[in-house]
Amino acid sequence: MASTADFRNGMVIRFNDELYSIVEFQHVKPGKGGAFVRTKLKNVINGKVVDNTFRSGEKVEDVRLEARQMQYLYQEGEQFVFMDNETYEQVFLNDDLVPKEISQYLKEGETYKVMFHGETPLLVELPFFLELEIVETEPGAKGDTVTNVTKSAKVETGAVIQVPLFVNQGDVIKIDTRSDEYLGRV
């Protein structure tokens, strides 16, 4: 158990029978009444952000999450198969743990961070930036580098993103996975 004095950004706590990560917190000591801690909490599983106020000194259960580097092998129906790089144990994750915004960037054979609570997998974390090859797009035209006009392009994992007109099929591009944004050619 931890108290509000132990709060720090990134700490994971159990709140309302769910796991939340502390995004930000502020100790407040009003002139009248008791002190309290104002927090912004992010649900570890679904990403929903909630605001909550704790009384100063209130006890909360802090939770330890373990990050394991796991290699993505393949998708079997609605399950994604990952292999632990140290023990070679395979883990099957349901599609509710790997939402579409993450699964669209999973590339077979690549290593990703999988967060565990005990032996229960909770979520898959993508790196912020990925380098992927474009497998399908309209042909680019010379001289289209000045305007901000974009076109759709499908990358090797199946994700469709917007790219500038000069990008061609076969180009390797850098993508920001948080915003699905094109960052440049590699």
Q: Which fold has domain 66-125?
A: OB fold (Dihydrolipoamide Acetyltransferase, E2P) (2.40.50)
Strand runs labelled E in 16-128: 18-28, 36-43, 49-55, 59-62, 66-76, 79-84, 90-94, 111-117, 120-125
Looking at residue 50, what is its pLDDT?
92
CATH classification number, 129-185, choose in 2.70.98.60, 3.30.465.10, 2.40.50.140, 1.10.10.10: 2.40.50.140
One fold for 2-62 and 129-185: no
Q: Which ranges of the chain does DSSP label H, i.e. alpha helix?
A: 100-103
Contact indicator for 27, 37 with CB cutoff of 8 Å? yes
Query: Which neighbouring-strand residues pair with 165?
Result: none
Nearest alpha-carbon partner for 177 in 145, 130, 136 = 130
Looking at residue 141, what is its pLDDT?
65
Contact indicator for 126, 105 with CB cutoff of 8 Å? yes
Looking at residue 71, what is its pLDDT?
93
Looking at residue 41, what is its pLDDT?
92
Q: Which two tokens stand for residue 113?
A: 């961070």
Token match 């909360």: residue?
60
Residues in the chain with pLDDT values less than 70: 140-147
The percentage of residues in the chain with a pLDDT greater than 70, rounded to a whole number, is 96
Nearest alpha-carbon partner for 44 in 25, 60, 66, 75 = 66
Hey, what's the torsion of the CAs at 120, 122, 128, 130, to 10 degrees?
70
Contact indicator for 35, 28 with CB cutoff of 8 Å? yes
pTM for the full model? 0.72
Class of domain 2-62: mainly beta
Mean pLDDT score across all residues of the chain: 86
Question: What are the boundaries of each domain within the chain?
Answer: 2-62, 66-125, 129-185
